Structure 1
């Protein structure tokens, strides 16, 4: 048992309360996150995590019997924290371009944060050992981002605007245009993590093209829209 751990549970009969137990779990996740994102999965040992967290190996293994379980817990913990920021209903103002530009800034602050870039690198490097984990990270981020984009775009549609499925496709395209390029550059080390690696001119131009495209599409006549929607539906069925 680590010195910090002894100090925390002293006077509790050797059994930590629920609050203390949560504090210990928090220290373990913070310590494991620091080591895993800094040194990688293979280099980080359970002994090192226990020492960094100030807990005994017994305490650590009681909560996380295997390093793989600890790794997945760290990934989920970091991801959940960032997703809470993304899901927060942050009020935005202005026309569609202004709102999308504000949302792009929010996305970049989350996706390009150093801890997320570090997380992505570790997950990618261990993709063979944890194939579902890499997919889960991207899927969860994408699902929430697409839903928020849908909520931003919808108020700017005419009453007979596109169907929900096609709007979600538009949102996915927006992510590919605006988020993927700076994320890829940060992961490959071509630019630094954080907003400093964002090419603002590129992002503004991409959003301008996106807005012009969707506004032009939404202004099509009902008959043309029906024909295009039918074409999309046939293509999806053929896939």
Structure 2
């Protein structure tokens, strides 16, 4: 055997070398979710500040304390990142809503309590800002705009169904035809269209959201009174 065929044994890797390898590759599975969240949170801030056109992956990477390669490993391009930010922040927030126990002796008072909480929670400046941005970019992302609209409507309807079912199950209102299982989705959608949609439209155009705060409770009280009176009057088929 010649000396040219001899191979020098590889020295065992040190702990430091192994740590370098981990940092250079994809993060451990348990950290991947934290990295994704950090990137999306940073992208959300940059998009809100710069708009879609003014935002850059470089700035997002710096804000996320992450490399561009890490971002591109998860999101194809800036469009894909924007799509994920809008989808996560608008749609997932609806599913996260948790109402405090309603207060009030009557069903009208309890409905007003929950609906007021929902509206005050919805009028978060960043959340409304992102909705404005998504609307402004609808010409660039028509599929995103349509999808978010449909899914937001479906998710909010599910939320309305849950709230109305919980609030009316121990009240005589829950025995009315409008709250029968087959009618409840339509009733919940009408409730949200009366209570939430008008104020949401105003919020999208209002520069100072705090200016709406004093009006929310009065608007909700009027809307709830109208809604409950309509439910007690009778349910007419075909309203959906």
Q: Could you state the TM-score of these two structures normalised by the residue count of structure 1?
A: 0.76
SS in 2 for 1:104: helix
**Cα deviation 1:162-189 (Å, max 9, x = unaligned):** 4444433232222122112221111112
Distance 1:189 1:89, change over 3 A: closer
Q: Distance in 2 between matches of 1:200 and 1:90?
A: 16
Does the 8 Å CA contact 1:112/1:186 hold for their aligned counterparts? yes
Partners of 1:26 and 1:158 in 2: CA distance: 41
Q: Structure 2 CA distance, aligned partners of 1:63 and 1:105?
A: 38
Distance in 2 of aligned mates of 1:171 and 1:111? 17
Please name the residue that 2:233 is paired with: 216
Counterpart residue number, 2:197: 180
SS at match of 1:102: helix
Instruction: Give the SS at the match of 1:65.
Output: coil
- Whether the 8 Å CA contact 2:47–2:55 is kept in 1: the answer is yes
1:36 corresponds, among 32, 47, 51, to 47
Q: Map 1:1-239; keep pairs closer than 5 Å.
A: 12=22, 14-15=24-25, 16-86=27-97, 88=98, 90-93=100-103, 94-135=105-146, 136-137=148-149, 138-151=152-165, 152-156=167-171, 157=173, 159=175, 161-162=177-178, 163-189=180-206, 191-192=208-209, 196=213, 198-217=215-234, 228=236, 232-233=237-238
Q: Pairwise CA RMSD of aligned residues?
A: 2.8
Corresponding residue of 1:6: none
Structure number with greater Rg is 2
Question: C-alpha displacement at 1:112, in angstroms?
Answer: 1.3
Partners of 2:168 and 2:141 lie apart in 1 by: 35
**Distance between the aligned counterparts of 2:205 and 2:54, measured in 1?**
21
The number of aligned residues is 214
* Unmatched runs of 5 consecutive residues or more in structure 2: 1-18
Matched residue SS, 1:12: helix
TM superposition outliers: structure 1 runs of 4+ over 6 Å: none
Native 8 Å contact 2:138 2:144 kept in 1:
yes
